[in-house]
Amino acid sequence: MGKLQDKVALVTGSGRGIGRAIALKLASEGARVVVNDLDPEPGDAVAAEIKAMGSDAIAVNGSVSEPGFADRFVGAAVEKFRGLDIIVNNAGYTWDSTIQKMTDEQFQAMLDVHLVAPFRILRAAAEPIRIFAKKEAEAGQEVFRKVVNISSIAGLYGNAGQASYSSAKASLVGLTRTLCKEWGRYKVNVNCVAFGLINTRLTQPIEAQQKTIDVAGRDIKVGVQPQLLDAMARMIPLGRGGTPEEAADAVYLFCSPESNYVSGQVLVCGGGLIL
């Protein structure tokens, strides 16, 4: 029996990288997981991987920024698993430019995926959570639920070339602390994890030809210049970037029963990096 046995967890952007590691970590503790990825193949693959572990999962794929996604995502959890215990707002990507080169489309895209999408998902979850909490209170039960929003050290300290991303991630901290106050009466712990350098496909070293990912028909460049990665690693007291599994462990801290009296907090998972 894991610490999250039979809990229902929703994790956006969980077909790859950090999100996949989070979904697998929660499933390893007994949670049933609603997986999501922009593309169906990785989302379906993670759901199958969780089932092979002996837990249960479904995939609700598609862009978290699409109108109607939030209701579809939350609704699938309630319909399939008859519960809603953990929400991890993880989906996202970066689309960088210095401010004089940044377009309105770039700025809005970062707000949409990193701030508006989590807002919509949490809004969609509000009524089911209220109903579950009311029934539990009437039965004399104290059941805690968990929300973990994923921010970044860029949202806490800023980062050159990331005005849009940093603004969205900073705003997510404000949303976290507001919902901590609104949802405390429902026994919901609302916290935030801000990642430093985590080694994923989005932070891979740029080689001779820079790689791109397709997001809603846009080719978005990914990767970091090797010399910048080396400089960042030297700034990290632990001496290296983190793994997706280490990032998932930080999120799990806020999903576990040990965090039942912790809410409205921001945990930096960055190997000691403080800018």
What strand order describes the sheet that includes 145-152? 57-59, 32-35, 8-11, 86-89, 145-152, 188-195, 266-269
- Name the amino acid, one letter, at 18: I
| Alpha carbons 114 and 92: distance in angstroms, whole number | 6
Distance of alpha carbon 255 from alpha carbon 146, whole angstroms: 6
Pairwise CA distance, residues 266 & 275, whole Å? 15
Q: How far, in Å, CA of 176 to CA of 211, rounded? A: 33
Alpha-carbon gap, residue 185 to 67, rounded angstroms: 29
Per the annotation, the verdict on 165 as an active-site residue is yes
Query: Active-site residue among 165, 186, 252, 261?
Result: 165
Structure tokens at 203: 């932070």
Phi/psi zone of residue 82: left (φ > 0), alpha (ψ -120 to 50 degrees), beta?
Answer: left
Q: Which of 65, 14, 21, 45 is nearest to 242 (CA)?
A: 21
Radius of gyration, CA atoms only, the chain:
18
Show which residues are catalytic: 165
